[in-house]
Amino acid sequence: MKQKRNRLEIIRDILLTIKARNGRIKPTHIIYKSNLSYQMFREYLTELIDQELVLEIEDKKGRKRYELTRKGMNYLRDYSLIKNFTQSYGLE
Partner 1 sequence: MQFAPLSPTWFLGYDVLFEIFFAVITFLISWLAFRVYRLTASNRTKLFAAAFLFISLSYTIELVYNFMIVTALNQNIHYSITFLTINVLHTLGIFSQAILMVIGLSILTYACLRVNKRRVLALILALTLSVILLEEDPLFYYFIFSTIFLAFISAYFFENYLSHKQLKTGLLSLGFVFLLLAKFYYIFSESNLLFYALGHFLELIAYTFITANLVLVLKK
Q: What is the DSSP string of 26-76?
A: -HHHHHHHHT--HHHHHHHHHHHHHTTSEEEEE-TTS-EEEEE-HHHHHHH
Shortest distance (Å) from residue 81 CB to partner 1: 7
**Quick one: 59 or 89, whose CB is closer to partner 1?**
89
Which CB atom, from 39 or from 89, has the smaller least distance to partner 1? 89
Q: Where along the sequence are the contacts to partner 1 (CB under 8 A)?
A: 8, 50-51, 53, 71, 74-75, 78, 80-82, 84-91
